Amino acid sequence: MGRRFTDRQLFEVRNHIPIRSVIESLLDMPSKTVEGVFRFLCPQCGEYETSIKPQTNLARCFRCEKNFNPIDIVMAVRRVEFVETVDLLLDFKDAANPVEKSPFRKDNGLSENRPPAHKSPGAPVAIGDVLAGLSEGMICGTVGNLGKGKPKVTITLLENDIAELEHIVAHLSQMIQRLKLSLEKK
């Protein structure tokens, strides 16, 4: 009997791994941008009459009328079975986000039912949202006096806070690299 995945694991793979990253980075498929539209070579019919919709994380070939989610496209290109595909995508997600491995992997010691602590790679991260999300119980602060009437604020970050901040820095670094690459291509 094959390995079973939870609904949450499958949801994570389908929705939290950007389809464009799967096409460009994982599968290294031929692709191009035409008139501002990202196109890739359809693995079914071999045409470039394709597009992606980042909002739904789906890709579509308008020639053969085939829709692809990240699982579908990996299965079509690599010609591998479902279980191997999901494992490959989970590994790809972990490699793309080395700060925190997927909370749904059995091999990282975290609970399978724990929701992700952050947004997916490629998803916009608002620093203000993250800072607002750090609960008072996670950040401990004390206010003292330096002697000249200026308060001294000491903040103690807990392990989870540091991991979240590291994730933000890694995400910002990836965004900067993408921006640099897009400027180089122009």
Q: Supply the CATH classification number for the domain 1-118.
A: 3.90.580.10
Decide: 89 and 71 in contact? Cβ < 8 Å: yes
- Give residue 177's identity as a one-letter amino acid code: Q
**159 pLDDT tier (thresholds 50, 70, 90):** low
Q: Give the helix/strand (H/E) hosting 132.
A: helix 127-133
How far is 164 from 156, CA to CA, in rounded Å? 14
pLDDT of 72 reads: 96
Whether residue 78 is predicted with pLDDT greater than 50 in this model: the reply is yes
Query: Could you report the per-residue pLDDT of 3-60, keeping only the tens digit for each?
Result: 788 898 899 999 999 999 999 999 999 999 999 999 999 999 999 999 999 999 999 9
Query: Could you report the per-residue pLDDT of 124-133, keeping only the tens digit for each?
Result: 444 444 444 4
Mean of the pLDDT values across residues 110-126? 39
